[in-house]
Structure 1
């Protein structure tokens, strides 16, 4: 197990959140490499050199314990796609490719509503997203599919807002950033995916139960803000404007060291908040089990969902210290990740315009 720098260490997670991996994980790595090549989301040489060390499959294999293998593979591909989309967003922002970016956003919005229509789109990011969405839509049915789409449309819009912020040099205030980050991290889409993992679509009163929502938000806020904490050097080097630490420095007058401590404090509070909410959710599940008419099955699904919420903490935590995505000090160019090439991005964008 890798060592964790003191400024990034969260002892509660190391002590109380055991790390787990789905048993399908080794096969998942192989399938992910094949999918990235086939969908042209990374050049073949980059796939061979960097895909495993980026640990994208490790991340997902620790989130969704109990998922059917086919579902886990689809979620893993969505996660890899998300990182590729994030890289395109960064490079399009840096180079001011507004027209290409708008075309991409339009294609992604269309994909959520008609994924089959976009499966063979010439832009690899649109086609890859369509492939993932089609597979995910096959597990629970129309109402879950519609909810996933409702939750993901605002994610695309939030990325577009970040694109516009970067083009005009706007650093969001802390509160504005927190709300924006909950969208760019796709909080509720990842939470939705707990249900097909549990093989059960939760009814609205259960999903909207205050304790369930608090537990879900705590695990997602932790994941987003811990990512901000670990990616701060990378994002400062790349002139990024969207990071909780950057907003604290810009709008609260903090030094870099103070901002790091404050993000770390908020991350730790998320863990405490989850532990409190988790107890309430498990009590709620016990009450459901006593209700008859399928209550036991529903209670088991709720417990499975909150179990995997818990797994987000350890998976996200260790991912950030194992993945080459955050080793900015080892890059030749601190502003340009070695697993991304401008040539491949430009080629993809031109293909998308044909």
Structure 2
């Protein structure tokens, strides 16, 4: 039973899933929902990508809808006010473009361009209004996203978001250095790095403006709440690894749980796939247990006072959207052109990327 049943959302029919990647428990226990704002969200994010010069008009026309970035966010943050969801979706689209720039800077050997971008993003995070018209579209687009995200809650949330994203930037830098050096992290090193390159804490932070409530630290650090939060994020990151393994092997990547298992644990490809799948399924099972604990925690918070009722409702809303990560991530990987490697002319070069780097030619 969903934890937060009063959402305004629509059901959504989904694509067929290859048997090797099928998770019947997701299809049975995690009904997929889509925020009713989604059609406008898709249209507005397409316009925003053009206005921010993050994708060319031709690439937006050919690929933006098929990449399903707005579908992904519209399936996560059910119940969010429209303007919050729009800001999150634009930021998410920016994140994917940034991830592609990072990848191209590695592939084409552009360390100067990467370090310049890294420095500029740190600066834009600390003073976004000063970077709204930056010459690099990635910096300007990031600044625009951050200004909007900073407008919804208080200074405490903004500072927390900034701290978490500074960590994400540095994790991307570690990944850059690993890749250019050919270093495959150990399984434990990879799992720690992955929580930052996947931006676990950022997506969890964004649950709060979606619920229109800044959670106190006592809630965020409650063991049950924290466990459920990390499980939904680990599921998303590791299922991504499972689905993107062919893409990343083709691109000589070194950051994938399956690749770490092969390189450091001596597993064959088939064994590593089985082990990643086992971990993914374990996340689902453990989340279902953690979800019950968080619901009991919310009942204790709802102590009869107005503040208790409001806080408990926010906790339930955040938990409900943690649950939505499972279905939205699952279907995204089978609908987005981002993972359809076999349809690309060159398996190492996604057709939707821009191979140029601002700041270094």
For normalisation by structure 1, the TM-score amounts to 0.97
Q: Distance in 2 between matches of 1:121 and 1:61?
A: 29
Q: Is the 8 A contact 1:171 1:247 kept in 2?
A: yes
Q: Report matched runs for 1:235-250 at 5 Å.
A: 235-250=248-263
Q: Please show how residues 1-354 of structure 1 align to structure 2 within 5 Å.
A: 1-290=14-303, 292=305, 294-342=307-355, 345-346=356-357, 348-350=358-360
Q: Whole-Å Cα distance in 1 between the matches of residues 359 and 122 of structure 2?
A: 17
Query: 2:264 and 2:304 mapped to 1: Cα distance?
Result: 50
SS in 2 for 1:96: coil
Q: Distance in 1 between matches of 2:354 and 2:144?
A: 23
Higher helix share: 1
| C-alpha distance in structure 2 between counterparts of 1:48 and 1:317, whole Å | 25
Cα deviation for residue 349 of structure 1 reads 3.7
Deviation at 1:179, TM superposition (A): 0.4
In 2, Cα distance between equivalents of 1:350 and 1:92: 10
TM-aligned CA deviation for residue 233 of structure 1 = 0.7
Task: Please list every run of at least 4 consecutive aligned residues from structure 1 whose deviation after the TM superposition is greater than 3 angstroms.
Answer: 348-351
Residues 268-291 of structure 1 deviation map (CA, whole Å, 9 limit, x = unaligned): 000111111110000000000016
**Deviation, structure 1 residue 293:** 5.3
In 1, distance between residues paired with 2:260 and 2:48?
A: 36
Contact 1:248 1:259 in 2 (8 A): yes
Distance of 1:292 and 1:30 partners within structure 2: 42
**Uncovered stretches (5+) of structure 2, i.e. residues with no partner:** 1-13
SS at match of 1:62: helix
1:24-65 deviations in Å (ceiling 9; x for gaps): 000011101101111111111000000000000000000000
Rounded Cα–Cα distance in structure 2 between residues aligned with 1:291 and 1:275: 27
Offset of residue 350 of structure 1: 4.5
1:59–1:315 CA contact under 8 A, matched in 2? yes
Contact 2:116 2:359 in 1 (8 A): no
Task: Check the 8 A contact 1:7/1:261 in 2, yes or no.
Answer: no
- Distance in 2 between residues matched to 1:20 and 1:283, nearest whole Å: 24
2:178–2:184 contact (8 Å) kept in structure 1 = yes
Q: Distance in 1 between matches of 2:280 and 2:313?
A: 29
Distance (whole Å) between structure 2 residues aligned to residue 150 and residue 173 of structure 1: 26
Instruction: Work out the CA distance in 1 between the residues paired with 2:223 and 2:325.
Output: 20
Whether contact under 8 Å (1:155, 1:184) holds in the other structure is yes
Q: In 1, Cα distance between the equivalents of 2:191 and 2:130?
A: 34
How far residue 3 of structure 1 moved from its aligned partner, in angstroms, is 1.4
